[in-house]
Structure 1
């Protein structure tokens, strides 16, 4: 793990409930909410979303099976602008899949709470957050890592 050493980062790190930072790796994105692909991202609705990735080029989002060609860049239970609260999302990555950035949820001025990220025999290259909020609280977010080869 490589942690940055400036004071601004340390203060921001304290406001997040969970973070792991790994080696920087650039990749294209794929945005896929409700299976529509765009820019390497899979993003749930932000409230009670369930995303599962366990096969290459296949995933489920809120019970809907989806497929695509390419690499997963960012996966998030929800990404909110403004004061949007993000909560109760669950993301499971398993069976040797690789993700670059992983968020239970991410929001600017809202809170992020009760999100779960499960990484089982999978790889995350850059960032893992149970919950992320730029300016508000992150509470009761959980990251579980098992049987992994992390970058």
Structure 2
């Protein structure tokens, strides 16, 4: 079981790294336990951080991440993958650059996945969402009047 979990996680990370959004979504079950959202719903600066319920919604999540960031400047790295039966935890650092304002940001992350029958049924990501939201704020116009 641990090998199957590790293989599924490695396949997910590989597809995500290639920008294969539909391929990544194929690894998810029809219904998933998703945790990457704000307590009060959506934050206007980070619309991809919201509740999702299944495979049909996952590709959209990854597409939105790409839409709001510069993929060529993505420096996200994985430091460790821990596997215990159907559960895996991926530890690393997110390094992205915001497309709209050019701001770069980093955040440590932990991703808890559960794999059942070869499909991901849990996707819980823990990151510094406040840093992410702050990076996506518009850059204020400066007053250049004399």
TM class by shorter chain equals under 0.3
Tell me which protein shows more strand as a share of its residues: 1
With the length of structure 2 as denominator, give the TM-score of the two structures.
0.27
Larger Cα Rg: Structure 1 or Structure 2? 2
With the length of structure 1 as denominator, give the TM-score of the two structures.
0.26
